[in-house]
Structure 1
Amino acid sequence: MARDDGGVGNSSYGRKAFKRSKAHFADRITADGRDGWPVEAGRYRLVVSRACPWASRALISRRLLGLEDALSLAVADPLQDDRSWRFTLDPDGRDPVLGIRYLSEAYDRRETDYPGGVSVPAIVDVPSGRLVTNDYQQITLDLATEWTALHREGAPDLYPRARRDEIDAVAADVFEDVNNGVYRAGFATSQEEYESACAGVFRRLEWLAHRLEGQRYLVGDTLTEADIRLFTTLVRFDAVYHGHFKCNRWKLTENRVLWAYVRDLYQTPGFGDTVDFDHIKRHYYQVHTGVNPSGVVPLGPDLSGWLTPHHREELGGRPFGDGTPPGPVPAGEEVPARGRP
């Protein structure tokens, strides 16, 4: 079973240009169960790493929609071995619900000798112990649209039907140039490849800053899927992408609009309370040995600025639309103090 290097999803890198593969297990959990996996409270377990930006999308969506009681959570160790994501944060090194030491065991129960990487986020069927899906692009959309019967009262509409075309268009540009662009820069094996990817990252960031200068959120006046997808890259930018991935034309803290925007989201319940900067830094700097052979984890950056006033509320907007903020983080799911500002 091949491991998934560095929270990059199913991907390949080396002498050729970095390429992210599509999810191999793309079954969907739906209200009508058309793929054989009906939405059902307590049946499935979401497996994440708090280090991984793709998994962080699912963490945020689950919190905002109030699905904590319906969809249980397993958090993998930010450091991996040759069998990839492991449950060494749990007593006896086993996930207490699935009873497995490695996420790869759930992949093996779904498909023996699967040749691809073991990626997060992943949703596992608890009764059978089999992987259902690792389709990080679709998981959050389905949580927003297929799991509605289990949403909390006051849950926001993160993928409003009237805005879907615009959300999809913005998210596609963000994915190509920012979410995936930082990886193409970080894993580049030639100067030309690196410069092209890095330039694309900052062109898109400048475009986003211009878009966000006069509006609080990316699409409309409420939080949507588009904001979640951008946030998970921006929150990691200065900590890992600026130095580790050489995306260093400027830091996020040096861009007035984007720094205020990402702080606004970080301070919104459901966003910052899922972020573990300790996991993020240790994972990137210690797992990507091809990029950082020493495994040394930097002391910075200073995290205190994340809690400073952002003043984005002056632009208006209604974070949760007609809904309400999520409640407190469930017991046992809190980010440890070392991972917070």
Structure 2
Amino acid sequence: LKWCAMPSYKVKDVHDWQPGEDGDVLAFLKDTVPGHPCHVFFKYTTGHVLAALTKDDLRRQARDVEAGNVIWVQLENFRKLIKQRNTIADSYPSCFTIFVRTPADVAIEMEVSPMETTWQLKERLATAEGTKVECQRLVFNGQSLKDDSTLASYKVGSGSVVLLIPRLSSAVRCIPTTTPRGQLMVPGNRPWQPSHSIRPYVPIVASDLYRPFPMNIEFDRIEDYRQFMQTMGSHARNNDLEMDAANEAVLEILPLDPNHAPVQTKVHLGGDSDMLRVDSVGDIVVPNSRYKALLKSPGQQGIAGASSLGLVLTTG
């Protein structure tokens, strides 16, 4: 993965933007009107001056009416954002405590401010937990937090729990098999070898409510993992083409208690293929358990003509 820092101007007040080749003003202009020759005319313009310019002033300085209009619109958007931030700052405490739950099922307590951005939180987490910023995905209430959005914009408040899900889409994630207790302690025993290779898995996030334990779809073989990802990738492409909702994949989770009914939920592959998002896992899933599951992949006739792939859902 290529590391790319978020432009600093997005987390600053326009009045605080710095001029110069590597300054915030030019970074803003390069994003707003990429490749436009007007950049050179704003090289020494400070954010304080830029914020004070009228639409006509911007047109004249850019020496291009259309470019000036685009810059004006984007500046107006930033002014609205500043107003929103001030409103949030008045309604939120100056700082509060949240908990970030890691893949190791450890909750990290962090003091944050409502106007802190996701990117800033990731930078602090990289120091506290060790996962690189570019490898982090933060999820709250089933929603991925965008780097340049504030915590308050997602209604993250005191006591909220945010999930940290590593981005590992370029590799197959695997759960190492466990060694039976005491097997290696007996003199004369040959070193224990697992009966099968390490198990690939895909993390799951449910959109309905937060559950204080990790959930994964686990596979016995790499081939099963690849078949699953191929199936889900096909459905993701169909969704991009706005296919009928009846053709969406459905995950059926079988309860441990036969008195409970199975849970059926729509399942979606995350945009960068590093996790699965389901609508719900119902009330049958508890920590430290394994559940049989079926991925129903509909054909042209919907679920009635579906093919099924057997899976295992595990919880920590």
- The question of a shared fold, defined as TM-score above 0.5 by the shorter chain, is answered with no
Structure with greater helix share of residues: 1
Higher RCO (Cα < 8 Å, 6 or more apart):
1
Quick check: which one's strand share is greater? 2
**Given the two structures, how large is their TM-score scaled by the length of structure 2?**
0.24
Calculate the TM-score normalised by the size of structure 1: 0.23
The higher radius of gyration belongs to 2
